[in-house]
Amino acid sequence: MRVLLAGGGTGGHINPALAIADIIKSKYPDAEFLFAGTPNGMEARLVPQAGYKIEFIKVAGFQRKLSLKNIKRNIQAVSYLAVSGKRAKKIISDFKPDIAIGTGGYVAGPIIRMASKMGIPSAIHEQNAYPGVTNKLLSKEVNHVMLTVKEALEYMDSKSFEYTVTGLPVRKGISSVTKSDARKILGFDNNMCILSFGGSLGAGCINDTMQEVIKWHTEKNLKINHIHGYGGMGKDTFPEAMKKYGIPLKSKKLRITEYINDMDICMAAADIIICRSGASTLAELETAGKASILIPSPIVAGNHQYHNAMVLGKAGASIVIEQKDVTSEKIISYLEDFYNNPDKLEVMSYNSAKLAVNDTPQRILSVVEKLLK
């Protein structure tokens, strides 16, 4: 079996593509894979690191806001578009795939469209509750649409395609450690545990708020354990803030670091998680069955993080606060309520676990095998 995968630009598109390749490879070890991506996207680094081959195609999105810089970008996007079909056809003709799967990002457009045009069975995977533009367009051309959540159908012409809700593959290790074992590894006791982070780069809003949250429960000497990852954005400011408050970065109840490299352990230990609402993060929250306070990033395409978060919010698994409405007082108020009423966290955790799709690999394989037939 020869599988062509197209997706990239961000980790949110390329990581699902890599996960799908791993799922197929686990059942079909002799399968051959080729990725199509952009030379400047994260896929140029991540795909070879994962041991897969990649071919490059230059594509770019059109900028709607008019400025001299964006006009130049749009001219470049047009020039890429003019040759993308020819390049896509060459990649496909040379590799001769049996199936093609797109996971979003501009690069998936010309590759999956051409594959479909050339009669190759094709599918897409949409990670978000609010679909991206590329996948919306491709949904009308492919044989099958895979969705992380059914709510995405509200924004697509679902009468024009066959679909399967597959969920989203999560990283290995999530949910494999018990809460008590995770806390022993971290050196924490069995009191309430908060995990907060804003991604590898960090998030200014979350960092600013967590400075006050950590100060609050430290000064009150509450029985709270707290893990916070401030990311690259906070590497200068966050340690300085803690120093000003006289709070150590590591203690029996605190672990404050730039990056969280053992997310599976930290997530297992947590009672409540405060973070952004990217698709992969939410799939992990559901798999681990964790209550959360979600602060969607307001600067993503289609405001998709808000739509992602509201899936959990409506299910009673999360409290969703838009960034413009975030204050440290509001977050502390929620945490104080949870501290005094831990049963509320148990209910939210239960609701989160109910949303999890626990057989995602099997569902993805069933779509692959349907394409092969």
* 202 three-class SS: coil
CA 287 vs CA 12, 170, 177: distances in Å? 18, 8, 12
Q: State the chain's mean pLDDT as an integer.
A: 91
- pLDDT value, residue 153: 94
Q: Say how far apart CA 185 and CA 6 lie, in whole Å.
A: 39
Instruction: Please write the tens of the pLDDT for every residue from 232-264.
Output: 889 889 999 999 999 999 999 999 999 998 999
Query: Containing H/E element for 185?
Result: helix 179-186
**Token representation of residue 354:** 């109910």
Q: Do domains 2-168+358-372 and 179-355 have the same CATH topology?
A: yes
If phi > 0 it is left, if psi is from -120 to 50 it is alpha, else beta; for residue 302 that is: left
Please state which of the ranges 8-22, 244-258, 322-336 shows the lowest mean pLDDT. Answer: 8-22
Task: List the Cα angle 18/23/29 in 5-degree steps.
Answer: 105
Q: Say how far apart CA 147 and CA 16 lie, in whole Å.
A: 12
Query: Containing H/E element for 282?
Result: helix 279-288
53-56 and 99-102 as β-strands: parallel, antiparallel, unpaired?
unpaired
**Sign of torsion over alpha carbons 105, 110, 111, 116:** positive
Q: The domain 2-168+358-372: what is its CATH number? A: 3.40.50.2000
Place of tokens 């602060």: 295
CB 29 within 8 A of CB 62: no
Place of tokens 């024009």: 160
* Domain ranges across the chain: 2-168+358-372, 179-355
Closest CA to 100 of 47, 143, 44: 143
* 249 three-class SS: coil
Instruction: Please write the tens of the pLDDT for every residue from 337-349.
Output: 999 999 999 999 9
368 DSSP β-pair partners? none
- pLDDT value, residue 68: 62
111 DSSP β-pair partners? none
What backbone torsions phi and psi does residue 36 show, to the nearest 5 degrees?
-115, 130
Given a cut of 80, whether residue 365 has pLDDT beyond it is yes
Instruction: Please write the tens of the pLDDT for every residue from 23-58.
Output: 999 999 999 999 998 888 888 999 999 999 999 986
- Burial classification of residue 170, based on how many CB atoms lie within 10 Å of its CB (0-12 exposed, 13-18 middle, 19 or more buried): buried
Place of tokens 């670091």: 257
3-state secondary structure 23-43: HHHHHCCCCEEEEEECCCCCH
257 DSSP β-pair partners? 229
Q: Say how far apart CA 98 and CA 332 lie, in whole Å.
A: 54
- pLDDT value, residue 61: 56
Instruction: State which fold the 179-355 domain adopts.
Output: Rossmann fold (3.40.50)
Given a cut of 60, whether residue 63 has pLDDT beyond it is no
Q: Say how far apart CA 325 and CA 268 lie, in whole Å.
A: 29
Given a cut of 60, whether residue 322 has pLDDT beyond it is yes
H-state helical runs in 96-124: 108-117
Place of tokens 């003019």: 82
pTM: 0.85
What backbone torsions phi and psi does residue 285 show, to the nearest 5 degrees?
-60, -40
Given a cut of 80, whether residue 199 has pLDDT beyond it is no
Q: Say how far apart CA 347 and CA 335 lie, in whole Å.
A: 15
